[in-house]
Amino acid sequence: MRPLNDRLKYVLNSVVVYHIRLGVPIGSRTITKLSEIGLSPATIRNVMADLEELGYLTHPHTSAGRIPTEKGYRFYVDTLLQEVMAQQQTSAVPADWPARESTADVLQNVSRLLSQSTHYAGVVLAPRLSQRNFKHIDFIRLRARHVLAIFVSEDGLIHHSLFELDRDLADRDLGQMADYLNRRFSSLPLQTVKQQILKEMQEAKERYDSLLRQALELGRQAMDTPGDGEGELFVEGATNMLSQIDFSDLNEMKQLFKTFEEKYQLLKILGQCLETPGVQVYIGSENAALGISRFSLVASTYACDGQPLGSIGVLGPTRMDYSVVIPLVRSTAEQLSHFFEEWREGPPS
């Protein structure tokens, strides 16, 4: 495929930018009027025809104007916008996250911030439970042989799990077991705690009395959480989509809200982002797994000490303002990473 020369790039960039701004097909006279390209409408029409032939533009129905195709948006995001952003690159200033907030509160606020800043949907994938540091665990007897375990991480996550025991235990025994686990494993990564519990359970049983053996078994069950590979998902601003002029198809909107409600595919895509650092942009049909094809997802991982913890993103129409959304997602991910690194140094009391 032939490379795009400067004239083709300029006209393609103009069509994308003005279509994002105005929400209508862009004609040659619009580009002549709003840009400083110095070309006649006739020349621009010829260039737009070339871009359409190359698959970067299309024209809806009988309109004389053009709109970008997915290929056009992809070239804009990967090439044209990157060239502009490289010249305007600024470092993100870490946000002053309120120390009194738990991780869940912060992540919820981040998804709200992304939504309010873009008027699209903000999504945040929380760190998996196994990536947290153990702080405290409680066992509560609900009824005979049924126990509720409440796990609290150093960064404020609270996780509940309910399980059934082989025999009934008194509240006093449950309290002693929790005290042992809290003294033994405080501040250790949960993954390390789980490994250590299994190791100690495999060692000579005579090292432990019956109560301590039961404590280890309870700890193992409480931390053997199904779905830990997914993490919790925070979503804010789903209703913002209702005000977008791009979406008047009722079935499409139903599918979108089904995606938000079920969350599984969003979890899967955001989980895949953990494998690639930096900002990832999924345009149109690249989101087919979500069951929606006229949306784009801009996502990025956040990390602690170089290890990815989770990911954040903005889901909006394919005609979203990438020049605003991409820097916002990148900056917010950097700030969130900074937040977790500060908390790793010493979580607030």
Q: How far is CA 44 from CA 11, 18, 28, 193, in A?
A: 7, 14, 6, 65
- Give 105-137 pLDDT, tens digit per residue: 889 999 999 999 999 999 999 888 777 788 899
Q: What is the CATH number of domain 6-87?
A: 1.10.10.10
The domains of the chain are located at 6-87, 103-128+229-345, 130-223
- Considering only CA atoms, which of 132, 112, 150 is closest in space to residue 310? 132
- Give 165-190 pLDDT, tens digit per residue: 888 999 999 999 999 999 999 988 88
Tokens, residue 182? 């809290």
Burial (CB count <10 Å: 0-12, 13-18, 19+), residue 128: buried
Contacts of residue 217, defined as CB under 8 A and 6 or more positions apart, other chains included, come to: 201
163-177, 197-211, 279-293: least confident range: 197-211
Q: Name the more confident of 212 and 348.
A: 212
- Give 236-258 pLDDT, tens digit per residue: 988 877 666 565 666 777 777 77
pLDDT exceeds cutoff 90 at 301: yes
Residue 199 near residue 138, CB atoms below 8 Å: no
Q: Tell me, what's the pLDDT at 60?
A: 83
- Give 69-106 pLDDT, tens digit per residue: 999 999 999 999 988 777 665 544 445 555 556 777 88
The average pLDDT across 144-163 equals 82
- Considering only CA atoms, which of 55, 9, 49, 7 is closest in space to residue 28? 49
Q: What is the CATH T-level fold of the domain 103-128+229-345, as seen in this structure?
A: Beta-Lactamase (3.30.450)
Q: What is the CATH T-level fold of the domain 130-223, as seen in this structure?
A: Enolase-like; domain 1 (3.30.390)
Q: Name the more confident of 315 and 271.
A: 315
